[in-house]
Amino acid sequence: MRIFTKKLPHPDLPSEEKAQLLQNSEYQERMVESTFLYLTLDLPTAPLYKDEKEQLIIPQVPLFSILAKFNGSTEKEYKTYKENFLKRFQLTRLPPYLIFCIKRFTKNNFFVEKNPTIVNFPITNVDLREYLSEEVQAAHTHTTYDLIANIVHDGKPSEGSYRIHVLHHGTGKWYELQDLQVTDILPQMITLSEAYIQIWKRREEDETNQQGA
């Protein structure tokens, strides 16, 4: 991917000093190309309000909304101890398999917080062509992915447990694994879980979709 980084002046500085600093080369946008092992998808902050029955509302977000991080134009601010940066990302190559890590856990000095937001995603036909730079789109004949594995975290950060949804390629059926227990599961039930890590397989032209979803 390409990573574009732009240093930001300190927010407490006077506006005139900020404008002057932005003219320096140190504050100009820079681009580097980097390989990646997985794509980290950031969840929006979960709201704290409750519904009429005083039940906490679990927010939902479409997969394509959090994938927008990699469209080459969406900017996100990153803060370090001393400096702030604006970054944007653009994919330049799509591998046969993609790993998504949905960032549910946030650490601070005292404890770990978990974001319960549900990600709405299709099981098949996720096309990532629009996240490629224009000049490399022509080189990618196949840009559509199907889900083949979904790792779920249930419960609190410190006391939770994991489940895994796996596609059996030979039959096109989905199974849920937890410890030694294996049960079959309907594809539409997978999307209701608190997905944490997902593995997607690129669809080749001669492949047929056996997942039935």
pLDDT computed for residue 109 by the predictor: 74
pTM comes to 0.85
Hey, where are the domains in the chain? 2-202
The CATH number that domain 2-202 falls under is 3.90.70.10
pLDDT computed for residue 54 by the predictor: 56
Mean model confidence pLDDT for the chain = 86
Which of the two residues, 24 and 191, has the higher pLDDT score? 191
One-letter-per-residue 3-state SS of the chain: CEEEEEEECCCCCCHHHHHHHCCCHHHCCEEEECCCCCEEEECCCCCCCECCCCCECCCEEEHHHHHHHHECCCCEEEECCCCEEEEEEEECCCCCEEEEEEECEEECCCCEEECCCEEECCCCCEECHHHECHHHHCCCCCCEEEEEEEEEEECCCCCCEEEEEEEECCCCEEEEEECCEEEEECHHHHCCCCEEEEEEEECCCCCCCCCCC
Does the pLDDT at position 61 exceed 50?
yes
Give mean pLDDT, residues 131-154: 89
pLDDT computed for residue 22 by the predictor: 73
Which of the two residues, 17 and 198, has the higher pLDDT score? 198
Q: What are 66-94's pLDDT values in tens digits?
A: 999 999 999 988 887 778 888 999 999 89
pLDDT computed for residue 209 by the predictor: 47
